[in-house]
Amino acid sequence: MAVVAIALAGCRLPSFGSFDAPTTQGQKTYHLWQGFMVATLVVGVFVWLLIFWAVFAYRKKKKDGEGLPKQTRYNMPWEVAYTIVPLLIVAGLFYFTVVAENQVTQVVANPQTRVTVTGFRWGWRFDYTDASGKVLASVVPPTVGQGYPQMILPDHEVTRVTLVSRDVVHGFYIPAFDYSEYAQPGLLNKFDFTPTRDGVFDGKCAQYCGLRHAQMLFTVRIMSSSNFHTWLSSQEAKVST
Ligand SMILES: [Cu+2]
C-alpha cells in the first residue's frame, strides 16, 4: 500500500497542507508527506467502508428477537491478518521515511557556497565563507524594529549550511522548505540546500528560547546564481576594506 502511495506521489497530488518546497531536499519531504497522506486516505476509506457495511448489514431487523445476536469471536486467520497487515504498513512507512531522511540530510563533498548560520538571543546572522572558512560576506540582523535579516541562496547550486548557536538551543525553521533543524551551542549541524526556483520565504525560530523568541524572524531569498555571485563579490569588497 505504501509502495502504491509513494508511486502515486509522483503525480500531481494536492499538497495536503504541506509546502511544495523550492529545494531538492524539501521536495523529498514533500513527496514523503504526500505518500503518507495517500496511504492514510486508502486505509481511512477502507475502514469507513467496513464500518458502514457492518452497521447496515448487521443492523437490528424485525425478525430478530430480543437479546444479543450470535456472537462471533476467536477467528484466528482474521486476527492474524489484522495484526500483520498494519505491521507491514508501518514497516513500509518507516522504510520510506528513512530513505527520504537520508536524502534530505545527505551532503555533497564540494558545495559551491558555504554559509554559517548563527542563532543567538535574539536573532540570526549569516556568514558566507570559502572552503577554508574565510568570511566573504556577513548578513547581520538590522537594529531592532528595522526589519529582519535575509539569507540569500543561489538557485540551482548547492549551499552548505553550518548551523550553530551562540547561547541556547534555537530552531532554524523555514516552513516553505519543509525543513527545520536545531541550532545547538557547541554543535555544528551541517546540511545542504539546493534551490530549484527563485522567491522569498519566511523563516523563524521554532524552539522557545526566551523573552524575544517571537522576534527571531528572518527571510530567505533565492536568486539566480549570477545575481548571487554578483552580490557576494560586492559584499567581499566591503569585508576586505
Ligand atoms: Cu530562538
Q: Are residues 133 and 232 in the same domain?
A: yes
Establish how many alpha carbons lie within 13 A of residue 112's alpha carbon, considering only the half-sphere containing its beta carbon: 14
Q: Is the pLDDT of residue 240 over 90?
A: no
| d(CA 213, ligand 1 centre) in Å | 5
**Within a domain: 132:** yes
| d(CA 185, ligand 1 centre) in Å | 12
| d(CA 218, ligand 1 centre) in Å | 11
| d(CA 141, ligand 1 centre) in Å | 14
Q: Which residue has the cell 546564481?
A: 225
Q: How far apart are CA 241 and CA 232, in angstroms?
A: 14
**Within a domain: 179:** yes
The pLDDT-based confidence of 69 (bands split at 50, 70, 90) is confident
Q: Are residues 94 and 208 in the same domain?
A: no
Q: How far is CA 158 from CA 102, 108, 132, in A?
A: 17, 8, 17
Give residue-wise pLDDT tens across range 189-233.
Answer: 999 999 999 999 999 999 999 999 999 999 999 999 999 999 999
| d(CA 172, ligand 1 centre) in Å | 8
Q: Which of 12-16, 17-21, 179-183 has the lowest mean pLDDT?
A: 12-16
| d(CA 140, ligand 1 centre) in Å | 15
Which CATH number do you get for residue 228?
Answer: 2.60.40.420
Cα 178 from chain centroid?
A: 3
Q: How far is CA 63 from CA 52, 55, 66, in A?
A: 21, 17, 10
**Within a domain: 8:** yes
| d(CA 210, ligand 1 centre) in Å | 7
pLDDT computed for residue 203 by the predictor: 97
**Within a domain: 62:** no
Q: Are residues 93 and 168 in the same domain?
A: no
Got the DSSP string for 33-95?
Answer: HHHHHHHHHHHHHHHHHHHHHHHHHTS--TT--SS--------HHHHHHHHHHHHHHHHHHHH
Got the DSSP string for 130-183?
Answer: -TT--EEEEE-PPSTTS---EEEEETTS-EEEEEEESSS-EEEEEGGGTEEEEE
| d(CA 216, ligand 1 centre) in Å | 6
Q: Are residues 93 and 13 in the same domain?
A: yes
| d(CA 47, ligand 1 centre) in Å | 42
How many other C-beta atoms are found inside a 10 Å radius of the C-beta of residue 50? 10
| d(CA 136, ligand 1 centre) in Å | 25
Q: Is the pLDDT of residue 157 over 90?
A: yes
**Within a domain: 142:** yes
| d(CA 171, ligand 1 centre) in Å | 6
Q: Are residues 92 and 162 in the same domain?
A: no
Q: Check residues 144 and 153 and name the one with the higher pLDDT.
A: 153
Q: How far apart are CA 163 and CA 170, in angstroms?
A: 10
Q: Is the pLDDT of residue 236 over 90?
A: no
Share of residues in the chain with pLDDT > 90 (%)? 80
pLDDT computed for residue 145 by the predictor: 66
| d(CA 192, ligand 1 centre) in Å | 21
| d(CA 187, ligand 1 centre) in Å | 15
Q: Are residues 100 and 173 in the same domain?
A: no
Q: Are residues 90 and 124 in the same domain?
A: no
Q: Are residues 173 and 220 in the same domain?
A: yes
Q: Are residues 39 and 146 in the same domain?
A: no
Domain boundaries, position 96: 2-57+73-105
Q: How far apart are CA 86 and CA 133, in angstroms?
A: 49
Q: Is the pLDDT of residue 10 over 60?
A: no
| d(CA 191, ligand 1 centre) in Å | 19
Task: Give yes or no for a contact between 23 and 2, defined as CB atoms under 8 angstroms apart.
Answer: no
pLDDT computed for residue 12 by the predictor: 79
Give residue-wise pLDDT tens across range 76-131.
Answer: 999 999 999 999 999 999 999 999 999 999 999 999 999 999 999 989 999 999 99
The pLDDT-based confidence of 18 (bands split at 50, 70, 90) is very high
**Within a domain: 230:** yes
| d(CA 212, ligand 1 centre) in Å | 8
| d(CA 165, ligand 1 centre) in Å | 9
Mean pLDDT over each residue of the chain, to the nearest integer? 92
Q: Are residues 89 and 157 in the same domain?
A: no
- Counting the structural domains of the chain, the total is 2
Q: Are residues 124 and 233 in the same domain?
A: yes
